[in-house]
A and B are shown apart, each in its own frame.
Chain A
Amino acid sequence: METTSEKTDRAIVLSPSGRLDFSAAAPFQEAIEKTIAEAAGAKLAVILDCSGLDYLSSAGLRCFLIGARTAQAAGARLIVCSLQKAVSEVFDVSGFSRIMPPVADRAAAVAAL
């Protein structure tokens, strides 16, 4: 899995791509926490653009959950967007769609800020 980061004037966009499974969870969690700290310091939001993410297991969901809590504690907005079908199904089944409602695409994420 690869994660790229991009800064815009209102948010830092973190884009994981590939498979977020148990093996990829620890480095991704580190990336997400680092990004939230940086965003909170700069009064920016965090957008998790999942358009390139094609696999997600419970180990990956744990990263999203910890990320959402870290963002809440730091006072930073965190928005998830562009879920592929399989990832979207995992979000729905696990109830994550309710605790961090995903939006359709990056434009919708920016509009929601």
Chain B
Amino acid sequence: MQATLPGEEGRLPEVMAFLHGCWESIGLPEELLFPFELALEEVFMNVAMHGGTAAGPSTVWIDLEPAEDRLELGVSDDGPAFDPLAMATPDIDAPLEERPIGGLGIYLVREMMAGVSYERRDGRNALRMWKPL
């Protein structure tokens, strides 16, 4: 299943509705919903908050594909090239006073998913995330 929409912060409810629709119509396991909701929110919000240009928001393409042995979520955007996987890992052992406020989103995605890949292809940032079914 696929969805295409502008990468705007206010579109998050639509993005989640798409994901919930996938779960209902494909009949996916309930225990996989939370990690995919989290991954999709983090990646979509990253594009919405940092991915656009002065000309306007990026276009975001979302697809969810169940294969035989795994469930794969793809999020692409036509914004400036940006590889979120190249970002430094936040220091999750730092004490309260030193914990940075940001940078946790992509870290959570990497931890909650079995695999994440990034590719810059045909003018788009393409992230793919998966977990075994």
Contacts and interface: CB of A to CB of B under 8 A. Distances in A.
B63 interface: no
Nearest to B48: A22
A18 B94 CA distance: 29
A58 B105 contact: yes
Majority-rule SS of B interface residues? helix
A107 interface: no
A111 interface: no
B41 A62 contact: no
Contacts, number: 56
Given A21-B16, A65-B99, A68-B96, 13 more contacts: A22-B45, A23-B13, A57-B108, A59-B45, A62-B104, A72-B96, A86-B34, A90-B38, A93-B112, A95-B94, A98-B93, A99-B95, A99-B96
A106 to B, nearest CB: 23
Contact of B108 (A22, A58, A72): A58
Interface in B6-60: 9, 12-13, 16, 34, 37-38, 41-42, 45
Contacts of A89: 34, 112
B1 interface: no
Interface residues of B, number: 25
B97 interface: yes
A61 interface: yes
A42 interface: no
A62 B92 contact: no
B38 to A, nearest CB: 6
Majority-rule SS of A interface residues? helix
Interface of B: 9, 12-13, 16, 34, 37-38, 41-42, 45, 92-97, 99, 101-102, 104-105, 107-108, 111-112
A104 interface: no
A94 interface: yes
A22 B97 contact: no
16 contacts: A22-B9, A57-B38, A57-B41, A57-B108, A59-B41, A62-B102, A62-B104, A65-B101, A69-B96, A89-B112, A90-B38, A90-B108, A94-B108, A95-B94, A99-B95, A100-B96
